[in-house]
Structure 1
Amino acid sequence: MFSPSRDDVRLFFCTTYRKLHERLPLDGAEVLAATVIEQHPELHALLADREAAQQAGAGTGAAQPFLHLSLHLAIAEQLSIDQPPGIRALHGKLCARLDAHDAEHRLIDCLAETIWQAQRDGSAPDGEAYLERLRRSASA
């Protein structure tokens, strides 16, 4: 299983931002990441400065912009393959009431809670609990 380090993740987003900004070709996951980056102009200055990016949130308890971008990327990937099955339809249901970015944030909240629960319990993420969170979020 691929398990990038904190620095790998930050470098990936910074490199993708640079390629996007310089209009260079994007490869693989960079295409999805570029969409996420474009949705977050408030992070562009950070992404343009690799040194600042490596220190972002370090030891401050501040929001983790790279965690946020990574969760967006995870949701984009899940939507692209409809995995877990039905997530795309639930996203569509949310988009009927919210703009697509806000709908993704609702899905991110469900994913983050599922990951947090697994870490707290020292277990694998519970797919059924995740789907139930997604369903509740789409119905709320």
Structure 2
Amino acid sequence: MFNPSRDQARRFFIEAWHKRQQGLPMTQLELIAADLVSLHPEYHALLGDAQNAQADIDALLAREWTPEQGEANPFLHLSLHLAIEEQLSIDQPPGIRRLFEQLSRQHGERHAALHDVLECLGETVWRAQRDRAAPDGAAYLDCMRRKIRAAV
């Protein structure tokens, strides 16, 4: 299994964005990552600035984003997006694709639906870490169903 360190995951997004900007060849995963970055213009300067100097990259690798600072961690956000894209591609947990399609129809656009799923995934991961247990796929899908009911 691929289990990158925090720095490796951050470098992956920085390099994927750099390759997109430079028109360089990219792997399928890099294409997906760059597409996700493109959906978040609030991250463009952050990742764009890092492509020019090693000091900027080192600062991004070392930086902490905490709720107390009032900032969301852009790399965590993008990583959750990437995980969701993989889950949708293989319909895992089973049924996620159908629920996502319902959310997309309700929102009228894909990105807003992804953010609903991202909230559910974040909650699922948080609960698993808190409880020192495996992520609860059923609870994850239940969260998505609540989002669908709330959007009606």
1:57 maps to which of 56, 64, 69: 64
What is the TM-score with the length of structure 1 in the denominator? 0.91
Which structure is higher in helix share?
2
Distance in 1, Cα, partners of 2:85 & 2:58:
27
Distance in 2, Cα, partners of 1:55 & 1:63:
15
How many equivalent residue pairs?
Answer: 140
Whether the aligned pair in 2 keeps the contact of 1:46 and 1:52 (CA below 8 Å) is no
Cα distance, 1:80 vs structure 2 = 1.5
Distance in 1, Cα, partners of 2:63 & 2:98:
35
1:66-92 Cα distance to aligned partner (Å, 9 max, x none)? 000001111111112221122111111
Distance in 1, Cα, partners of 2:133 & 2:106:
34
Whether the aligned pair in 2 keeps the contact of 1:7 and 1:54 (CA below 8 Å) is yes
Residue number in structure 2 paired with 1:12: 12
Flag structure 1 segments of 5+ consecutive residues without an equivalent: none
Instruction: Report SS of the residue matched to 2:106.
Output: coil
Amino acid at match of 1:136: R
Distance in 1, Cα, partners of 2:145 & 2:93:
12
Residue number in structure 2 paired with 1:86: 95
2:147 maps to which of 131, 137, 140: 137
Cα distance, 1:58 vs structure 2 = 5.0
- Asked whether 1:36 is paired with 2:43, we answer no
Instruction: Report SS of the residue matched to 2:2.
Output: coil
Amino acid at match of 2:47: L
Flag structure 2 segments of 5+ consecutive residues without an equivalent: 51-56
Q: Could you tell me the percent identity over the aligned residues? A: 51
RMSD: 1.6
Instruction: Report SS of the residue matched to 2:92.
Output: coil
Whether the aligned pair in 1 keeps the contact of 2:65 and 2:72 (CA below 8 Å) is no
Amino acid at match of 1:32: I
